[in-house]
Amino acid sequence: MEYQATAKYIRMSPRKVRLVTDAIKRKMLTPEQALAQLAELPKRAARPVMNVLASAIANAKEKQIPLSALRVQSIEIMGGPSMKRWHAVSRGQAHAYKKRMTHIRVTLTDEKSQ
């Protein structure tokens, strides 16, 4: 069975969050190991990923699933909406830029991987 948690509208660029999650996804860690590794990463993006992972673990515990049976199935980083802003420059002109947001979805499973 799958257990998932989602965080939406995180005020951080998806590119920066993907740097953090790629480090975890490549190692095929258990949720406890992933939380421990996220706590040690010196990146600001590790905090929201850690919160979503902890929420997914709590969702699984609510169904009385032992923590040792869980595995991280997927971590999805999706782009959210962008806030359009501008910066005044010389001669009355403006340069536009985007403040990006991120959606994070973590899926845990209790099935054995083949």
- Predicted confidence at residue 113, as pLDDT, reads 54
Residue 16 falls inside a structural domain = yes
Rg (CA), the chain: 17
- Predicted confidence at residue 114, as pLDDT, reads 45
pLDDT, tens digit, for every residue of 24-43? Answer: 887 767 899 999 999 999 99
The residue type at 37: Q
Cα within 13 Å of Cα(42), Cβ side = 0
CATH classification of the domain holding 65:
3.90.470.10
Residue 114 falls inside a structural domain = no
Cβ count within 10 A of residue 80: 16
**Domains of the chain: total:** 1
Residue 10 falls inside a structural domain = yes
Q: Which two tokens stand for residue 46?
A: 């590790």
Residue 112 to residues 26, 28, 39, Cα–Cα distance (Å): 18, 13, 26
- Predicted confidence at residue 29, as pLDDT, reads 77
Host domain of residue 97 = 2-109
In the chain, which residues have pLDDT < 70? 28, 113-114
